[in-house]
Amino acid sequence: MRRLTDTDGLTEFQRDILRTVRDFVDAEVLPVASELDHADAYPDGIVTRLKELGVFGLTIDEQYGGLGESLLTYALVVEELARGWMSLSGIINTHFIVAYLIAAHGTQEQQDFFLPKMAAGEVRSALSMSEPDLGSDVAAIRTAARRDGDDYVISGQKMWLTNGATSSLVALLARTEEDAGQPHRNLTAFLIEKAPGFGETRSGLTVPGKIHKLGYKGVDTTELILDDCRVPANRVLGEAPGKGFYQFMDGIEVGRVNVAARGCGVALRAFELAVTYARSRRTFGKIIGEHQAISFKLAEMATKVTAAHQMMVMAARRKAAGGQSDVEAGMAKYLAAEYCKEVVEDSLRIHGGYGYSTEHEIERLYRDAPMLLIGEGTAEIQKMIIGRRLVRDYPAGA
């Protein structure tokens, strides 16, 4: 029944990539995912294999040592990885967003310097936008960068960095003094190199420790404290001060496609577990999948898995084609996250009491799914973006 998430129009090379990742997930991820999750252990061995498979260079141009694949291929790979363990998709997500930002907005020197190392997985990346009191109001960023000769000096506190410790490159959004009357034009994106690990990983830059979470284990989520951290001016993304908000929003659309793909992968795995259990568990003389209440629930779950996948594919293709895709990415993220939550909960209900046991995989998915409702913007933020664009741009009388 993998036709639920089959995708039309793929090349044979794309299908080969997906088969390779799917086989890798079945053989090397699913058998250890719950153990790593319960230990909250970073999957070093799996990450090494991802490097060997070329996943870190999936979308990076061939001239820099990558595979040069499309955003659609990336999203479908994320879906396969999230089916095995959602944390793996987090490890590559910010890496891909930063690679996209550098490829789309970086100078030639920045592209030549970073992209080959990123394609090989030698440099792995984090994205830093959120702050402790920020919420969704990006224009209210307080972390400040002041120009000092050939450098910028940055001070402030950042929050919710995925890969904050394991990364060696952070794309960070800070306030500068480009246009005081236009808050969004007062933000600048910086490419900050650091050593992996916790503590002071660069002069003036400290990663305090891991934030402990309900789910989404293994991948490190951290704060970032900057205290007069000196960054060369040539590490402003694109050497374009004041353009950071627009650059980051472009990258966040990539991130929303990623979160949609994660939702698709987690929902598919929850559905697979539900079907397997419904075929093996017997009550009243027959397997529970033959009871109408369960078969109807499975039908609803399969429909949601398929609808979310198709929406995610549409958004990925739209973004890959160029131009603004905030509506499509927002719709895909919103729908896939909500459907994922519903499918996972229905799968847990089908498992009954066993679903509440840590010995069963569905318990892990039940803890992972809520992160998708929040990451890259809540449902409310997505609906606000979609609604505003519809009011502004939808043809009158249509």
- Catalytic member of 35, 131, 376, 380: 376
Which long-range CB contacts under 8 A does 352-357 form with residues at least 24 apart?
352/281, 354/277
Strands (E), the chain: 125-128, 144-148, 151-162, 169-175, 187-193, 199-202, 205-207, 221-232, 282-283, 286-287
Q: Are 176 and 236 in contact (CB under 8 A)?
A: no
Q: 69 near 58, Cβ under 8 Å?
A: yes
206 φ, ψ (degrees, to nearest 5): -125, 135
Of 37, 21, 18, 201, the closest CA to residue 126 belongs to 201
Angle of helix 86-105 versus helix 361-374 axis, rounded to 10: 30
Q: How many angstroms separate the CA atoms of 130 and 370, rounded?
A: 18
First-residue to last-residue Cα distance in the chain: 38
Q: Please say whether the beta carbons of 220 and 164 come within 8 A.
A: yes
Tokens representing 165?
A: 């410790």
Q: Is 376 a catalytic residue?
A: yes
Query: Where do we find the tokens 């936008």?
Result: 129
Q: Please identify every residue annotated as catalytic.
A: 376
